Structure 1
């Protein structure tokens, strides 16, 4: 029988996903420890989560001694010892070490990684090639995985300086998009870059108009290349023209101000060939291509092979059929042989972070995660 792995995906939204895997491919049980049960501090969270896991095991006729190893995926930046250094929305966890807690309480090998890195390892466990993995959500996160399954340039022990973030692991936050380039790209789709800046300042404040390292001539890439960013682009492109509303029902129209929902409505409009949505996705793809060229220049100087696949995860990546073509066309003009593809884990209907946690557990146990 394949070993039993405990997989955890710590979230600050709905809760912590818990999975029991046989090997890294067979999910036997899954549940969510709800955020309402986290409690006021790290101690209440960790003890509550452990109790939740023990009950899940008992419900399936198992015990803690059946677990071979544990893997944990988490948002944020860690120390090289596995403690939380910077975890947004759960800053009272900073300085605490969830890896050590589970390793001591369950007496099993335990590993913890940033969730984008974990998702990337899940992709690698299937494809078994060097790859880049990008997650588009509230921001744009990423990872570079070597052919032999190592996370390259992980963001640990961060100094707090933008220049100390490798583009491959924090692309949205670290990559600068020059405003002159953006103005030109907006003009190509008959849209106004100054209008986009006004929307960005309204959403996030004037500080969002400053790029990495305090650059006044650039923006952080994730202000555009993210779920909220795509919605901002649409608002800038559509301006005061409400023609698109004819193609949405009243409930969909009301949801266009919510980035967590509006993305699928923009995709619907693109599929119906509505010009504002088509131009939004053309623009998104072109900007992604420019950001990709910046990323690849740094990564290739650090040893990234030419033409590695780029696997996309996160809800906005489902819009790949709409923004992908314009990005790939520019890749060709730039001489880039990389191709954008959907996450193979998403295609299988699995959670990439949770599968990645099982891969982490297998690696912690010294076992082959591809089996």
Structure 2
């Protein structure tokens, strides 16, 4: 909101830094929060529904901004300032509602009856391997060893770097999409151009929810990504080497479908396989910290001077998505090995430990 009132580069930098500090913990916090409310087999759909807000914001955020910019100049403020002011106020109100209304856990959910709270707590406690036993996690004391266990975990680095590759594409998507729509020469009206940019996001939204639902039903995370990432890879491989504006626009739909639908699966994967509150918190935060660096790639991979083809930028994201597919495959193989080792008795010394090293805790592939 304060970005609407800045008057110098110094105030801009300060406000942006504060925004980054406040926003940085949101996504890992949401993942951690939802992982304490739902069983392992329910998480992908819930995070998928939450994540569709990202694709929907891409679809309608530009339209809202276009409308808000028409407010100014008013009150001594230009139109672009009103975009930040109004959208910032909406976010503040949403945050206050969440702070007041959202419970800390199912045991304190006031909108549930006592019987429903007891039932909800019990079904979490009975989840596979005791993974979501709220009683045990409530008694867990902070240990640096749990943080180290999260930091030096093979799967967190495989999924983090895979997510980094995906987000590089997601962040850059909005940079070149208007250029492709403009090249279609359907209309010269900026508002109508903005409407056309909604289509790829609108296609990605139901696909994301559907893939998340399937992932929960089959209780697999890697397989849906191994299927959907090639859809985006095909889109980037094609768009980098064709001149037809209509074909390029069609490819943006494939690119959005593959990338957006893979994100809930990669987000929930660490939470599914990290037992112990502090280890799960560490892996969730680390994964998002690494992945959000994809914004740097998106910023520099698509300079305006290389438009409208953006061969270099598309090639970079294509290579990153190929890496993401490979990292997902390696993680599936690694988790399969861990499950085989547990079955072979190599983790017997951790029996009854109550975390993901327990032989009874089966890693979700």
TM-score, normalisation: structure 1: 0.25
- The structure with more strand, counted as a fraction of residues: 1
- The structure with more helix, counted as a fraction of residues: 2
TM-score, normalisation: structure 2: 0.25
Which of structures 1 and 2 has the larger relative contact order (alpha carbons within 8 angstroms, sep 6+)?
2
